[in-house]
Amino acid sequence: MSLRVRSRWKNAGERSLEDIGTVCATNAWRIAGNGVLNLENEGFETTTQRQRLDLIEEFLAFLLHVADHAVYERMSQDERARLITAMAMRMADLVADNRADFEGPGNQRAAFIDRLNQRGDRYAEYRWESERTPGFALMQAFAEWMSEQLGPTNRKWAVDQIMAIEGPEAVEHFLKAMDSLLDPETASTGRRPQRYMSED
C-alpha cells in the first residue's frame, strides 16, 4: 500500500491531545481512501461517490477503534477521551464536508457519529490477538461491514481481501504514524468503550 501519512510535526514544540487527534483523523482518512482505491484496483467495483464514502466511513470507524485500543494502556481515561473525541470530531467534519458536496445540506455529521458509536460498541466485544493485531472475529466484523457496502457480487472474495490484506495493512500504517505522533511516555489507567458526542 503506497500512501503518505503524517508522522511528525513540522515545528518543534508540545502538541495538545486535540492536535494529535486531528492529525490521526486526517491520516485515517487518507488510509481509508487508499484502501478503497486498492479494492477498486482488485476488481471490487464501486459505482457512486456515495458508495465510496460508505466504505470510507467503515474504514474510519474501524481505525477509530484501533486508535482507542492503542492508547488504552498509554493514557488516563480523561486523556484518552480527549484524543479519541478530537479524532472522531475531525472525522465527522471530513465526512460531512465530502457528503455535502453531492448530497447537499443535511445531518451527515450526526449520522456518521451514530455509525461510530454503533460500530464502536460492537468492536469492543471482540478480542485482540496481540497489542497491535486485531483478533480474527474483530477483523471479520470489519470485513463483513465493508462487504455489505460493496454489494452481493463477490462478497466472499471481498471479505477475504479485506481480512488478509486491506485491514492488516491499514492497521499497520495507522499505528506506525500514530506512534510517531504520540508521546511515548504517556501514562495509563482505565478502560471502557469511548463514546463520541455530536456536540464538542
Pick from 81-85, 130-134, 191-195: least confident: 191-195
Q: What is the pTM of this model?
A: 0.86
pLDDT in tens, 15-53: 889 999 999 999 999 999 999 999 999 988 888 899 999
Q: Given a cut of 60, is residue 186 above it in pLDDT? A: no
pLDDT in tens, 76-125: 999 999 999 999 999 999 999 998 877 777 788 899 999 999 999 999 99
Average pLDDT over residues 125-130: 94
Beta strands in 103-187 (DSSP E): 128-130, 133-134
Residue 4: count other Cβ atoms within 10 Å of its Cβ.
9
pLDDT at 163: 95
Q: What percent of the chain clears pLDDT 90, i.e. is strictly above it?
A: 60
User: Which residue bears the cell 508540545?
Assistant: 14
Residue ranges per structural domain of the chain = 17-181
Residue 55: count other Cβ atoms within 10 Å of its Cβ.
24
**Axis-axis angle for helices 49-72, 167-181 (nearest 10):** 50
Q: At CA 189, angle to CA 184 and CA 190, rounded to 5?
A: 135
